[in-house]
Structure 1
Amino acid sequence: MTNHLAGSCAAADSTAATSPASVIDETPAPRPVVAAWSAYDFGGNAFNTVMLSFVFSVYVTGTVADDPARGQVVWSNFQTAAGIALALLAPLMGAWADRVRHRRVLLAVSTLITIACMAACFFVKPDDAYLLLGAGLLSFASVAQDIAGVFYNGMLPHVSTPKTVGRISGTAWALGYLGGVVCLVGALFGFILNGGMLGLPTDEAFNVRCVALFCALFMLVFSVPVMILGPDGEPRPGERFSVVGAYREIGSRIAHMWQRERGLLHFLVAAGIYRDGLNAVFAFAGVIAATAYGFSSEEVIYFGLAASVSAALGTWIFGRLDDKLGPRPVILGSLIAIVAEGLAIVIANQALVFWVCGMMISFLVGPIQSASRTLLTRIIPPGEENETFGLYATVGRVVSFIAPALIGVFTAAFGVRWGIMGIVVTLIFGLALFWPLRIPGVTHQRA
C-alpha cells in the first residue's frame, strides 16, 4: 500500500514529508456522467428526509405503534441493529468493489434494494401488528442505502479532477438537500395534508402509505442515470474475493494505517466524531424546537424546509471555496462557527435566536460533510477508494452514540434546551481532534 499519509493521532502536528498520492482522475469526466452522478444525490434524499426523518418514521412510531413509547423503543432497537450491520458490511462491500471493480452494478443492486424496501412500506398499515414490519423495512433500507453510498462516494474521484472535486461534491450534496425539500413538499401537499391535492382517502392511512410509493419512484427516477452512466472499473487480474480474506485484509489495512498512515486514521476518527454531531443537528433540531421553544408541528416543518434550503445554498457556495482554499479551512472555519452559534442559542434562550442561528448552522452543516468527502477523496490510495469509504462509513457508525448520549445527559441534567450542548460538545471534541491534522498538497491546495 502507498504510504500516502504520515503523522500521529497523538502528535501535535500530523505531517508528511511528501504530498499524498491521489486517485482522482486528471481528465474531466463527460458532463452527462457528472450530471448523472449528481442526480443520484438529488433522488436519494427522498429516503433520508421523508421516510427516515420527517414523515414515515413518525408514522411508524406514533401511529402504527399502539404505544408511542414502545414504538420508539422498537425503532431504536432496529436502528441500533442497522448500525451494527452497516459497521460490519460497509468495509466488506467496499473491499469487494475494489476487487471486482463493477462499482456501477453494486451501486445499482444496493440502490434497488433500498427502493424496494421503501415501496414495501406501502403495506405497513396503522396497526400495531405492522410495527415490526415498518421498523424493519426502514432499517433494512437504511443499511442498503448507506452501502450504496460507499459505491457512490467511490465514484467521486472518477467524475472530478483535483481542481473540480470540491465543486462537484458540493453541488451534488446541495442537490441532495434540494431533493429532500422537493420530495417533502410533494409528500405534504400531494398526499398528507387533508388527503393532499390528489384527494386520496385517509382510511387506514392510505394517503400516508402512498408517500412510500412516491418516494420510491422519486428515488428510482433520479438513480437510473448513474446506474447507466456511472464510472465503472475492470476487475483486478488474478484477484479473488472471499469474505474471510477480505476481513483479514481490512484488519491488516487498519494495522497498516496505525503504523504508516496514521494521519488517515486520525482523519477517519476525527471526522467520524464531528459528523456524528452534524447528523444530530437535523435529527434533534425539530424535537428541540417543539419541546424547548414551543414550535407547532407546522412550524417545525417550515423550519425543516428552511433549514434544508439554507444547507443547500451553503454547500453549493462552499464547494467552490473547497477547490480554492482546500477542504481543511472549510471544515475548520465551519465547525468553529457552528460551535459559536450553538452556544448563542443556549445563552440567549429565545425562539428568534434559535431560528436565526439554526439557519446559520444549517448553512454550514453541508459544507463540512461535502468537504470531508473531498478531503478523503484527495488522499485515498489508487485502487482503494471503495474500501476506504467503507471504513469511513464504519467509523462514523462506531462513534454515532456520542452526540445522542451527550444530548440525553445535558437534557436530563439541565433541561430540554440544554440538549443543544450535547451537539456542541461533540463538535468541539471532533474539532480538537481534527485541528492538528496537516495533509501536504491537500489542506492548502489551490485550483
Structure 2
Amino acid sequence: MTHPPAGRPAEPAPGETPWAAPEPAPRRTIAAWSLWDLGSNAFNTVILSFVFSVYVTGTVAADPERGQQVYSNAQTIAGIGVALLAPLMGAWADRLRSRRLMLTAATLAVVVTMAAMWFVRPEDSYLLLGVTLIALASVIAEIAGVFYNGMLLQISTPSTIGRISGTAWALGYVGGVLALVIALFGFILDGGMLGIPTEDAANARAVALLCAGWFLVFSVPVMVWGPREVPDAARVREPFRPLRAYREIVARVVRMWRQERALLHFLVASAVYRDGLGAVFSFAGVIASSAYGMDTVQVAVFGIAANVVAALGTWVFGKVDDRTGPRPVIVGSLAAMVAFGVVIVAFDATAVFWVFGMGIAALVGAVQSASRTLLSRITPVQEANETFGLYATAGRAVSFLAPALVALFTAVGGARLGLLGIVATLALGLAAIWPLRIPGVTSRR
C-alpha cells in the first residue's frame, strides 16, 4: 500500500483490501461480535415491527388512525436524525479509534430507552411518549450499527469476512425469531404462558423489558471481548467540532467522486436495492393479509418461517461470499428475487405466495450481509466508521422509493400488484449495481 499524503489515511489500491490485520481474530472475539447481532434484532423484530409499535398505535392511541399518523411522523423525524448523525458519529469514532467504547455506550442507551417503554401506559396521553421512545431507540440503534459494522475489518481476513458477516446476520434473524416467539407466547397470546397480568396492559409493556434484557445479555460479550484499538493521542487531544466534521464529510464525498468512484457507486446503488430489501419484510405481512386474506396468526407464522429461512440463506451465502466474492451473491440474489416476485404477481395463489415468498426471504439477508462485506473490502480501515455512517445516510436518502412504488402499483391494480413496487425497486438496484467491477474485491474471478 502506498504512503498517503500528509493528513490523509492510506487508500487501498485497486484490488487491494484495506485489512486491519492479516491474522484472524480469536474465536471468542468473533463469537462476541456475532452475538450482538442476535441481541439487537429483538428491537427490530419485536419493538419496531410486530409487537410494541402495534401496542402503541393500536392500544395506547385512542384512535388507531391517529396513532399510525403520529408514529409515522416520529419515524420520519428519526430517519432525518439518522441521516444527520450517523456520518458525524462515525467520524467521531474514527477520530477516537474506540469503536468498542462507542458501541458499548450506544448499546446501553438503546437498552435504557427500551426499558423506559414500560412506562407507556394504555392511555392516549402516553402516545407521544411511546412514539418518541421508539423513534429515539431507532436512531441510537442505527448509530450503534455504524460502530458495530466498522468492527468487521478488525475481526476478519479476506478469506473469512463473508462467513463471519453471514453467520452474524443469520444469528440476527434467529434472535429476532426467538424473541418474537417468547413475546407472543410468553406475554401476549391468551394472556401469555408466563401469567403476566393483562390489567393496565402490563403484559404488552413487559415485552419492552424482555427486549431490553435480551439485548443487554447478548451484548455483554462484545463489550468485554470485542476488538480493541489504540487511540490516536494527537487526534484525541484535538477538540471535536461538529461543523468542521460535516465539512470533512462533504470533502470525503467529493474525494470519493474524484478518487474513490467505485465506493461512491456502491453507496448509491446499494441505497436503492436496500430500500427494496427493507420493504420485503415491511410489506410482507400487509400484502399477506390484504391480498391473500391471512389472519393475524397466519401472518405471524409466515413471518416466523420467513425469518428462519432468511437465517439459513444468509449463513449459506456467507460461505459463498468467501468463495466467489460479494458481487456475485448480490447480483445473483437480486436477480432471483425479481424473478420470484414476478411469479408471485403472475399467479394468484396462496401456495405460490408461500413458496416463492420463502425464496425471497432466503435471499434478503444474503444480499444485506454481502453488501456489508463488499463495503468493508473497499473501505480504508481508518475511515470505516465514517463510511458506514455514510452507508446508513445513503439508505435513508432513498427510503421513500419502495413505499412510493408500492402505493402506486396498489392504487393501479390492488394489493397483490403492490408487490411490483418492491420488485421494481430491487430491479432498479440490480441495474445500478450491475456495472460495478473492482478486480479482486467484488469477485474472485
Normalised by the length of structure 1, the TM-score is 0.95
Provide, for residues 265-320 of structure 1, a one-character-per-residue CA deviation record: whole Å limited to 9, x for no partner.
00000001100000000011001100110001000000000000000000000000
The residue that corresponds to 1:333 in the other structure is 332
The residue that corresponds to 2:397 in the other structure is 398
The residue that corresponds to 2:220 in the other structure is 224
Matches within 5 A, 1:18-417: 18-239=14-235, 240=238, 241-417=240-416
Which runs of 5 or more residues in structure 2 are unaligned? 1-7
Q: CA deviation at 1:103?
A: 1.0
The residue that corresponds to 1:433 in the other structure is 432
Provide, for residues 167-196 of structure 1, a one-character-per-residue CA deviation record: whole Å limited to 9, x for no partner.
000000000000001100101111111121
Letter in 2 for 1:154: G
Provide, for residues 118-146 of structure 1, a one-character-per-residue CA deviation record: whole Å limited to 9, x for no partner.
11111111111111111110010010000
Contact 1:24–1:377 at 8 Å: present in 2 too? no
Q: CA deviation at 1:235?
A: 2.1
Contact 1:38–1:171 at 8 Å: present in 2 too? yes
SS at match of 2:380: coil
Q: What is the aligned-residue identity percentage?
A: 63
Letter in 1 for 2:28: P
Contact 2:379–2:387 at 8 Å: present in 1 too? yes
Q: CA deviation at 1:85?
A: 0.4
Q: Give distance in 2, aligned partners of 1:18 and 1:202.
A: 60
SS at match of 2:416: helix
Question: Residues 137 and 117 (structure 1 numbering): CA distance in 2 closer, same or farther, change over 3 Å?
Answer: same
For these two proteins, the number of residue pairs brought into alignment is: 435
Letter in 1 for 2:430: L
Contact 2:19–2:157 at 8 Å: present in 1 too? no
Q: Give distance in 2, aligned partners of 1:68 and 1:289.
A: 20
Matches within 5 A, 1:8-27: 18-27=14-23
Contact 1:119–1:213 at 8 Å: present in 2 too? yes
SS at match of 1:295: coil
Letter in 2 for 1:211: V
RMSD, aligned CA: 1.2
Q: CA deviation at 1:24?
A: 4.3
Which runs of 5 or more residues in structure 1 are unaligned? 6-16
SS at match of 2:89: helix
Q: Give distance in 2, aligned partners of 1:429 and 1:50.
A: 30
Contact 1:23–1:379 at 8 Å: present in 2 too? no
Q: Give distance in 2, aligned partners of 1:31 and 1:21.
A: 22
Q: Give distance in 1, aligned partners of 2:215 and 2:9.
A: 37
Letter in 2 for 1:80: T
Provide, for residues 241-271 of structure 1, a one-character-per-residue CA deviation record: whole Å limited to 9, x for no partner.
2212211110100010111111110000000
Letter in 1 for 2:164: I
Q: Give distance in 2, aligned partners of 1:321 and 1:382.
A: 24
Q: Give distance in 2, aligned partners of 1:389 and 1:200.
A: 41
Letter in 2 for 1:326: G
Q: Give distance in 1, aligned partners of 2:20 and 2:394.
A: 23
Provide, for residues 184-221 of structure 1, a one-character-per-residue CA deviation record: whole Å limited to 9, x for no partner.
01011111111211111111111111111011000100
Letter in 2 for 1:437: L
Contact 2:153–2:381 at 8 Å: present in 1 too? no
Letter in 2 for 1:163: S
Contact 2:17–2:158 at 8 Å: present in 1 too? no
Q: CA deviation at 1:151?
A: 0.3
Letter in 1 for 2:225: L
Q: CA deviation at 1:444?
A: 2.0
Normalised by the length of structure 2, the TM-score is 0.96
SS at match of 1:161: coil
Q: CA deviation at 1:233?
A: 1.5
Contact 1:188–1:196 at 8 Å: present in 2 too? yes
The residue that corresponds to 2:5 in the other structure is none
